[in-house]
Amino acid sequence: MLDRLRLSAIVLLVLSPLAAKAETLNLLTWEKYISPRVLDAWRTETDSEIRQIYFDSAEGRDRILSDGNSEIDLAILNENATKLFRNKGMLQEISAASVPAIGYSVPRWRERCSGYGMPYFWGTLGIVYRADKTATPPTSWADLMQPAAELAGHIAMMGGSDDLLTPTLILAGKSVNTQSEADLKAAYASLRKQAPAVRTYDYVVTSLQNEAIGPELFMALAYSGDQFVLKGMDGHDWRYALPKEGSVLWVDCMAVTAASPRRALALRFLDFLNRPEISAMNAADLTMPTTNAAAMPLLPAAMREDAAIFPEQALIDNSHFYEENSAAVVQTRKRMLHSLLSFHDAR
């Protein structure tokens, strides 16, 4: 009997570490938004896996995260979504005590994550285009909203109500955060006028993988850095333009859900991800601007000096952050989006 108990104890001691090693974190994220080398390094260090669940719009992300059965441990959120889900009690607070490496984050970006997310990447909203299909490189939001005849039917916009409205609001000289119903109605009218030239309102990185649509996309509303992803996907010369009228600055935060049964491991992953050498590897592999001050010197000089990745200060100064809108304005924007999609699909 004693030998049997000893054997049982040995089995438990052997199996318990294996059970811990088998843990998998569920990460809600954009597609192609974390380096495979980073995931390999995490797996080697911890024997844990990262399972990625993709979204291609803010609305889609919010639906998944709001589903109590989604079992999401970590999520990529913009600064306003971080505040929204924080206020709902759905996120774990992040501090130097729980994630020591957060101290490497640039204070400006850390503040935008409101203490409930770790700054991940930052960038701008602009225009991506295929150089071989665009006679004149775009310099203005007007080049997207009133595209040249040869680009009609080859435009991709976005399905998020904030980003979708930004080009036309900026062109009209209005705030991207306007709560004026008149401003929003005028922006909606401009989007309807553009609609015949639009091939899809799905995110261009997602759409490019659709064999029926991808080869027909020549210009799109996109985020800085998307040009490198697109070029890696189809081999074409995709480029990025930040319109002269200005744009919006965004920062993505990586948050831990309050409901995660693996919160300790999720917090450890954040700390791992923000180590300077890991943050630099991630940024270099994805060609994205890091939010980590200590990682900047570790990036290749050519990358640090690339204005498509780190825009000139004058363009940054002419850009804005999204701010929180009232619930009524959020619903108005969503209704406009749904109406626009219905109008487009009916054509």
- Strands 118-130 and 219-223, by their bridges, are antiparallel
Residue type for position 347: R
Residue 51's DSSP bridge partners are 26
Query: Do residues 239 and 107 touch, judged by C-beta distance below 8 A?
Result: no
State yes or no: pLDDT of 346 exceeds 50.
Answer: yes
| pLDDT value of residue 347 | 76
Q: Count CB atoms within 10 A of the CB of residue 245.
A: 15
Q: pLDDT tens, 77-107?
A: 999 999 999 999 999 999 999 999 999 999 9
pLDDT at residue 99, rounded to an integer: 98
Return the domain boundaries, the chain: 2-122+249-309, 123-248+316-345
CA distance 330 to 328: 5
Query: Measuring CA to CA, which residue among 223, 212, 209, 218 is closest to residue 251?
Result: 223
> What are 176's two structure tokens?
């991207």
The pLDDT value recorded for residue 19 is 41
Do domains 2-122+249-309 and 123-248+316-345 share one topology? The answer is yes
Average pLDDT over the chain, rounded to whole?
92
On the question of pLDDT at 231 being above 80, the answer is: yes
Q: Mean pLDDT lowest for which of 14-18, 92-96, 110-114, 230-234?
A: 14-18
As a whole number, mean pLDDT of residues 240-266 equals 96
- Give the confidence band of 287 by pLDDT, cuts at 50, 70, 90: very high
Q: Which residues 6+ apart lie within 8 Å of 101 measured at CB?
A: 270, 271, 272, 273, 274, 275
pLDDT higher than 50, residue 110: yes
3 state SS of 113: coil
**Residue 159 pLDDT grade (very low, low, confident, very high; cuts 50, 70, 90):** confident
CATH architecture, range 123-248+316-345: 3-Layer(aba) Sandwich (3.40)
What's the predicted TM-score (pTM) here?
0.84
What is the gyration radius of the CA atoms in the chain, in angstroms? 22
Question: How many residues appear in the chain?
Answer: 347
Helix (H, G, I), strand (E, B) or coil at 81: helix
For residues 59-77, average pLDDT: 93
The pLDDT value given to residue 172: 97
pLDDT for 21: 52
Tokens of 58: 């803010």
Q: For residue range 309-336, list pLDDT tens digits in order.
A: 998 888 888 888 998 888 899 899 989 9
**pLDDT of res. 15:** 37
Task: Identify the residue with better confidence: 12 or 108.
Answer: 108
Residue 10's pLDDT is 37
Instruction: Kindly report each contact of residues 58-62 with a partner whose C-beta sits within 8 Å and lies 24 or more positions away, as own/partner.
Output: 58/160, 58/161, 58/162, 58/163, 59/159, 59/160, 59/161, 59/334, 60/159, 61/28
DSSP output for 298-341: GS-HHHHT-TTTS--HHHHHT-EE--PPPHHHHHHHHHHHHHHH
Tell me the per-residue pLDDT of 175-230, one tens digit each, with 9 for 90 and over. Answer: 999 999 999 999 999 999 999 999 999 999 999 999 999 999 999 999 999 999 99
Please give the Cα distance from 16 to 30 (Å, whole number): 33
pLDDT for position 59: 87
Residue 57: is its pLDDT beyond 80? yes
Provide CATH code, domain 2-122+249-309. Answer: 3.40.190.10
